[in-house]
Amino acid sequence: MLVNDLKHLAFIMDGNGRWAQRQNKKRSNGHNKGAKNARTITEYCVKIGIKYLTLYAFSTENWKRPKIEIEFLMKLLIKFLKKELKTLQKNNIKFDTIGDISRFSKPLQQAVLHVKKETSQCTGMTQILAINYGSRDEITRAVNRAIKKGKKVDEQDISNLLDTSNFPDIDLLIRTGGDQRLSNFLLWQNAYAELFFTNTLWPDFSIGELETILSKYRTTSRRFGAL
Ligand code: FPP
């Protein structure tokens, strides 16, 4: 299925922990499975012609989790980036991030910069990993940049000051895991996004379910406030 009118798709990949707990496994198993699924969904998205795919992998609020889980997620991110590079290059996918990566360890920061550099010439799709990302943090950083410039800003200026300045607004946001909230994710950029919530836990979210959501999305009339 070719999706022409969907430029930017975003996911809140929720439910890894519950997926693992339901099978009496450690939460880390759920995150491993979740990372694999991120790869599967990414490869599908590039195939159907989506130009930008944003994945919420670690929020500014996730630092409140137990230290052991944070450490696991940091290791997983490094592992994911190392493995992902081949997948990205094979599929002509450019890699980018949003969020403040300065809080991460040097090896993780270096891994991010390495994958960005090695995929900078890819043109098929841009995969954007939201890491240490929180919309309020992003907007606060943007406002401070504006203050530094010392002049009045309009909406376009704000868009240009956000981490997402190089990407279009979100067209479709999908959240797995049953909760119906935005959790501080792309509050500005989701202003006119279509929102889909599914009870499916992220590790179980399939290409088939994505196709069903995309079919519904394509029948939605998007008026952006006009008639
Ligand atoms: C939500 O599950 C998921 C996260 C906190 C992080 C998302 C991480 C992944 C999908 C794995 C890593 C992915 C990449 C791309 C490296 P949860 O722990 O909140 O699940 P729960 O709501 O069931 O507890």
pLDDT, position 2: 46
User: Ligand 1 mean position to 103 CA, how many Å?
Assistant: 19
Query: Token pair for residue 124?
Result: 């098929």
Residue showing tokens 């836990």? 201
pLDDT, position 151: 83
Chunk the chain into consecutive blocks of 10 residues (it has 227) and report each block's average pLDDT, rounded to whole numbers.
Answer: 76 98 96 97 97 97 96 96 94 98 97 98 97 98 94 94 97 98 98 96 98 93 77
CB 92 within 8 A of CB 43: no
Query: Token pair for residue 170?
Result: 């979100």
> Which residues surround ligand 1 with Cβ inside 6 Å?
13-18, 31, 34-35, 38, 55, 57-58, 62, 76-77, 80, 177, 202
User: Ligand 1 mean position to 120 CA, how many Å?
Assistant: 26
Active site residues per annotation: 14, 62
Query: Token pair for residue 117?
Result: 């550099």
Task: Return the residue whose CA atom lies nearest to atom 8 of ligand 1.
Answer: 57
Sheet bearing 194-197, strands edge to edge: 93-98, 125-133, 52-59, 8-12, 172-175, 194-197
| Bridging pattern class, strands 93-98 and 125-133 | parallel
Q: Which homologous superfamily does the CATH classification assign to the domain defined by 8-218?
A: Decaprenyl diphosphate synthase-like (3.40.1180.10)
pLDDT, position 1: 47
pLDDT, position 225: 78
